[in-house]
A and B are shown apart, each in its own frame.
Chain A
Amino acid sequence: MYKLMLCLRYLRTRYIALASIISVTLGVATMVVVNAVMSGFSHEMHVRLHGILSDVVMESHSLDGFYRWKEHMEAVRQVAGDEIQDMTVTVHVPAMLNIMVRDQWLPRQVTVIGIDDETYNKVSDFSKYLKHPANREQVDFNLKESGYDAPEDSKLAEAGWLYRREKIRYQQELEAEMRRFELLNRSVQARHTADPNEIDNLVSPLDLTRNEPDGPVKPKFADDPNAPPVPGPPPAEIADRIAHQKQPEIEPALAGGDPFAARYKQPESTTFDPMKHQAPGIILGMAVASIRQRDAEGKVQDYFLAVPGDDVRLTFPSAESPPKAISETFTVVDFYESKMNEYDAGFAFVPLSRLQSLRYMTHPDLGSAVSTIQIRLKPGADLQGFTNRLRAAFPPETHPYRIQSWRDLQGPLLAAVQMEKTILNILLFLIIGVAGFGILATFYMIVVEKTKDIGILKSLGASGGGIMSIFVGYGLSLGIVGSGVGCILGLLFVWNINRVAKLIEIITGREVFDPTIYYFQEIPTIIEPMAIVMVVTGAMLIAVMASVLPAIRAARLHPVEALRYE
């Protein structure tokens, strides 16, 4: 009883000891904040890293892929069927993407992924990151009329069919105008050569094109076998190329279906009209088709090289040996933005069957070939265990497959973040350790100051253990107060961290978290109760440990000598 009472009395009357635990308080508060922010960051990063990836990927070594993937899927299911939620197949192939920017082809290196729009959704969060709300519901590779999510002033906000028609009309008018000039030029030359017949022929089409601004001009020339060759100014090239595309491939409705069906079905129109038709759809990463930078006022702006509605050209190797380069036109139908630059700048998604047929990955007997099997596990399944079992079932010595979980793919980065967190925790805990030495020194002083009181208590029959427990209890109560206050301070800071960040921005005039780098609008925080419990317990332990040494000294004091002490 006297222990408790004296403990509380000392706590109330010795403010110097309270000062000594301010460092514990600050240390605990810092650790709470750092842990919450680090957890927030790493969670955000996990989500982004995982983002468009499935949980486990079984990938063939060869770009040619493998047939009989249905049997493989069955084999995978036998390994751990109860842990698998969904599976799908994809074709991965490195490719060169060419975007027409102001009459110049701009090449980009991407990995083209052929996906099945029905099932790919189920193995990854890919669709969550798409820009068009309808695509987020269910991905398809058809260009939407409009309505892409983007800021008002962004070019993306106007993208879609509306934009495409506008653009094509402009191009066609421009082309017609060029043609008119060409003809005019010829007629002038013809006058010089003085062939009256030719003059009569050439003047009339000139008037026709000029008076038809609304109609589709281009097909008129495309159908006309007598049309003179286009001299080739770059804007005309897109329309020209589209006009010469192979007929079965232009039907957008067939892009996701059976590639062979088109051969037996007579297309409604044998002509590709860019005003009405799109090339096969392609979904590009945000960073593939745009550049994010700050304007003069410091506002973050996206500058788009292409938007949904534009056509791009994709060149990739065929699945033959030796491989040949295959070039195809695709229409951008959407963007995805996982906010993970590595992914946003590296992938382009096209319909699986389209890519398979373009790369000659179909076989009359074996069906189609794929290059990966993507597996999503059920929530809470053991990712590493599943990967290991799958690896054991398909050993690399006998099977040409590489089996990786998304963690393996991002291993170094995840390890680095984990390492960072660990080191930071150790460093911060050392700060609390330093505070522990402050407590030690203060307690020693208190013991010296209280020597006589200790003597008195001993003369009244208090045992050494009792005296010791006064000071250990004192240390513990200081630890509880210090870490408790620190914990509350830390939590308050975490809950208001974005306001604090704004305040710092106002004071320093600098952005704390640059959205061009972090992609965060707000600082993410996650409070892990376990981490807080660990920090608080650790701090209390340090306070108790720091008080044990002075307490032992106090317990060992000789009563007579302590009573004599002045």
Chain B
Amino acid sequence: MSNTMSDSCLSTPTSPAVAPAEKRSGTQINTDRFDTPIEVDRPILQTIGLHKSYRKGQHVVPVLRGVDFVANEGRVTSIIGQSGSGKSTLLHLLGTLDVPDQGEIYFDEKRTDNLPIRQRDKLRNGKFGLIFQFYHLLPELSTLENVLTPAMISHGLFRYWAARKQLKERAKHLLDLVGLGHRLTHKPRELSGGEMQRTAIARALISNPKVLLADEPTGNLDRQTGREVLNILRKLNEEQGLTIVMVTHDQTIADEADSIVRLFEGCVETV
């Protein structure tokens, strides 16, 4: 742990005394894309001085070394960096899949990193939608069932049974939205990569999340298909005001975002 401490990023001195809303470093609003920029940016996801290291046998490998990050509500924020720069780890920490060694994470101005595991599970299920590079669909379930899985998790057996019609309707609607209305009963292995990723997007949207966390959503797709997926994400952002945090290593994709955070060796590089 002391190893990580000494590896802190010099450019971003962290102070717990600073209120999260005032911290804006590392966030840049790309005003070119909007004619009328949102007047008040409300940070929905924010981190202060995040440290995270992994243990590989005897060695402790620091991944994040004091990251300060802000994602504003209703904006697309991209996190860009090379392999091993810690961008996926940051996303996992944001999505409460993991806990930081040090530092604080705020969602909607509430701290999430020290919540009990149950509440973090609930948060992840209800407020965040996660999309991964490798889609991560359950192979035994059909497209529709995959989309319904988060709803099944959040609803108990009986509540799900009671609400199954509305939920199914909503899942079908979401699949229509991503252009997969005709593939409800197909198993993931019968789908193409783009279709799988679109299914994953529909799944991420089923519980009406506040933030969509996407980990290289186009990383495994060809340019054309990747484009389609990105268009869907952009559409969601524009039409529903969905906050999107997207990890990518592709500069051209990152450039489309409202703000870009560049990570280098576990530290935020101001662009």
Contacts and interface: CB of A to CB of B under 8 A. Distances in A.
Contacts of B161: 1
Interface string B146-172: 000110111111001100000000000
A455 interface: yes
A274 interface: no
The binding surface of chain A is classed by DSSP as helix
With most chain B CB atoms within 10 A of its CB, the pick from A458, A462, A466 is A462
A210 interface: no
B107 interface: no
Contacts of B98: 558-560
A460 interface: yes
A457 interface: yes
Interface in A216-230: none
A82 B123 CA distance: 72
B136 A452 contact: yes
B113 to A, nearest CB: 14
B97 A1 contact: no
Nearest to A13: B140
Nearest to B125: A461
B160 A461 contact: no
Interface residues of B, number: 32
A466 B203 CA distance: 19
B121 A463 contact: yes
B1 interface: no
Interface in A462-483: 462-464, 466
A464 B117 CA distance: 9
B248 to A, nearest CB: 18
A428 interface: no
Contact of B140 (A6, A458, A560, A563): A6
B126 interface: yes
Interface of B, helix, strand, loop or mixed by DSSP: helix
A9 interface: yes
Contact of B150 (A10, A453, A461, A558): A461
Contacts of B157: 1, 4
A461 B136 contact: no
A456 interface: yes
A462 B136 contact: no
A1 B145 contact: no
Given A9-B141, A452-B136, A460 B149 contact: yes
Nearest to B213: A459
A4 B154 CA distance: 14
Interface residues of A, number: 25
B124 interface: yes
B152 A2 contact: yes
Given A5-B145, A453-B138, A460 B97 contact: no
A456 B124 contact: no
A2 B139 contact: no
A456 B152 CA distance: 14
B132 A9 contact: no
A10 B139 CA distance: 11
Interface in A2-20: 2, 4-6, 9-10, 13
B92 interface: yes
Which 9 residue pairs spanning A and B have beta carbons closest together?
Answer: A461-B125, A2-B152, A1-B152, A9-B140, A1-B160, A461-B124, A456-B136, A460-B150, A559-B97
24 contacts: A1-B152, A1-B153, A1-B155, A1-B161, A4-B157, A6-B138, A9-B140, A455-B136, A456-B137, A457-B138, A460-B125, A460-B149, A460-B203, A461-B122, A461-B123, A461-B124, A461-B126, A462-B121, A462-B153, A463-B121, A558-B98, A560-B98, A563-B97, A563-B136
Interface of B: 92, 95, 97-98, 117-118, 121-126, 130, 132, 136-141, 145, 149-150, 152-157, 160-161, 203
Interface of A: 1-2, 4-6, 9-10, 13, 452-453, 455-464, 466, 558-560, 563
